[in-house]
Amino acid sequence: MTGLNRRELLAATALMPLWRSALAIGSTATHYDVIVIGGGTAGIPCALFAAMGGARVLLVEKSPALGGTLFWSTGQIAGSGTVFQQRLGISDTPQAHFDDCMRINHGTADPALTRLTVDHAGETINWLADHGFEVMDGHPVTGIGHDHFTERRYQQGVKSGLSILDAFIPSLNAMIATGKITLLTGTAAANLIQHADGRVTGVTVAGPAGIEDISGGHVVIAAGGCAANARLFEELHGVPLYAKTAYPTSQGDGLLLGLSAGGTIVGGEKYACLPGLVPDAFRYPCQMFAYAPLNPAIRSPWEILVNARGERFVQEDHSSVHHIERGVYQQPAHRHWAIFDAAMLENSDPIIPKWDRERLAREHKTNAMFHSAMSIEALALTAGLNPAALQNTVDDYNRRLRSGETDTFGRRARPIPLSTPPYYSIAMQGWTLVSFAGLKVSAELQVMRDEGSVIPNLYAIGEVIGAGATSGAAYTNGMLVTPAITFGRLLGTRLANTPPRR
Ligand X SMILES: Cc1cc2nc3c(=O)[nH]c(=O)nc-3n(C[C@H](O)[C@H](O)[C@H](O)COP(=O)(O)OP(=O)(O)OC[C@H]3O[C@@H](n4cnc5c(N)ncnc54)[C@H](O)[C@@H]3O)c2cc1C
Among the listed residues 484, 490, 491, 496, the single contact to ligand X using CB under 6 A: 484
100 scored as a contact of ligand X (CB under 6 A):
no
81 binds ligand X (CB under 6 A): no
CB nearer to ligand X: pick between 369 and 480: 480
**CA–CA dist 132, 125 (Å, integer):** 11
Under the criterion CB under 6 A, does residue 43 sit at the interface with ligand X?
yes
- Which is nearer to ligand X, 35 or 360 (by Cβ)? 35
Assess 11 for contact with ligand X (CB under 6 A).
Answer: no
Q: Which of 74, 264, 386, 392 lies at the binding interface for ligand X (CB under 6 A)?
A: 74
Angstrom CA distances, 112 to 144, 244, 260, 468, 469, stand at: 26, 31, 26, 13, 9
Using the rule CB under 6 A, which residue among 68, 258, 310, 472 binds ligand X? 68
Q: Which of 55, 60, 261, 294 binds ligand X (CB under 6 A)?
A: 60
User: Looking at 33, 380, 463, 468, which residue binds ligand X (CB under 6 A)?
Assistant: 463
Report the C-alpha gap between 235 and 215 in whole angstroms: 32
Q: Does 468 bind ligand X (CB under 6 A)?
A: no
Q: Which is nearer to ligand X, 288 or 361 (CB)?
A: 288
The one segment of 89-97, 218-226, 291-299, 408-416 that binds ligand X by CB under 6 A: 218-226
User: Which listed residue (47, 73, 98, 272) binds ligand X by CB under 6 A?
Assistant: 73
Q: Is 253 in the site for ligand X (CB under 6 A)?
A: yes
Displacement of CA 67 from its chain's centroid (Å): 15
Tally of CB atoms within 10 A around 95: 12
Q: By CB under 6 A, is residue 434 in contact with ligand X?
A: yes
70 versus 345: smaller Cβ distance to ligand X: 70
Of 69, 85, 320, 429, the residue at the interface with ligand X (CB under 6 A) is: 69
Residue 189 or 426 having the CB closest to ligand X: 189
The β-bridge partners of 448 are 454
Q: Least distance in Å: CB of 392 to ligand X?
A: 39
Rg (CA), the chain: 25
Who's near 92: CB < 8 A, 6+ residues apart?
A: 80, 81, 85, 151, 152, 153
Q: How far is the CB of 330 from ligand X (least distance, A)?
A: 24
Residues found in the chain: 502
Q: Are 312 and 330 in contact (CB under 8 A)?
A: no
Q: Give the nearest distance from C-beta 89 to ligand X in angstroms.
A: 25
Smallest distance, ligand X to C-beta of residue 434, A: 5
Question: Does residue 249 interact with ligand X by CB under 6 A?
Answer: yes
Q: Is 365 exposed, middle or buried (0-12, 13-18, 19+ CB in 10 A)?
A: exposed
Asked if residue 33 binds ligand X (CB under 6 A), the reply is: no
The alpha carbon of residue 330 and the mean position of all alpha carbons in its chain are separated, in whole angstroms, by 20
Q: Which is nearer to ligand X, 189 or 455 (CB)?
A: 189
Q: Of the listed pieces 275-283, 314-322, 443-451, 460-468, which binds ligand X according to CB under 6 A?
A: 460-468
Q: Is position 214 an interface residue for ligand X (rule: CB under 6 A)?
A: no
Residue 143 touches ligand X, criterion: CB under 6 A:
no
DSSP of 115-157: HHHHHHHHHHHHHHHHTT--BPTT-SBS-SSSPPPSSS-EE-B
Q: Does 462 bind ligand X (CB under 6 A)?
A: yes
Per CB under 6 A, the list member of 34, 52, 63, 97 interacting with ligand X is 63
Q: Does 72 bind ligand X (CB under 6 A)?
A: yes
Per the CB < 8 A criterion, the answer to whether 76 and 97 are in contact is no
Cα separation, 468 vs 139, in Å, equals 26
Backbone angle region of 138, left / alpha / beta, with phi > 0 → left and psi within -120 to 50 → alpha: left
Q: Which x/- pattern over 224-243 shows residues binding ligand X (rule: CB under 6 A)?
A: x-------------------
Residues 6+ apart with CB under 8 A from 79: 97, 118, 121, 122, 123, 124, 125, 153, 482
Question: 161: exposed, middle or buried (C-beta count within 10 Å: 0-12, 13-18, 19+)?
Answer: buried
Considering only residues 151 to 210 of the shown chain, the ones binding ligand X according to CB under 6 A are 188-189
Where does this chain touch ligand X (CB under 6 A) — which range of 54-62, 283-291, 355-363, 367-375?
A: 54-62
Instruction: Pick the binder of ligand X from 36, 37, 118, 266 (CB under 6 A).
Output: 37
480 near ligand X, rule: CB under 6 A? yes
75 lines the binding site for ligand X (CB under 6 A): yes
Q: Residue 368 and residue 171: Cα distance in Å, rounded? A: 49
Q: Which of 185, 71, 144, 80 is nearest to 295 (CA)?
A: 144
Q: Smallest Cα–Cα separation from 454: which of 200, 216, 267? A: 200
Q: What phi and psi, each to the nearest 5 degrees, are found at residue 92?
A: -150, 160
Shortest distance (Å) from residue 429 CB to ligand X: 16
Nearer to ligand X, 37 or 345 (CB): 37
Q: Whose CB is nearest to ligand X? A: 40
Would you call 97 helix, strand, or coil by DSSP?
A: helix
Based on the shown chain and the rule CB under 6 A, indicate whether residue 15 belongs to the binding site for ligand X: no
Rounded CA-CA distance 49/376 in Å is: 61
Interface with ligand X by CB under 6 A: which residues?
37-43, 60-63, 68-70, 72-76, 188-189, 222-224, 246-247, 249-250, 253, 433-434, 462-464, 478-482, 484
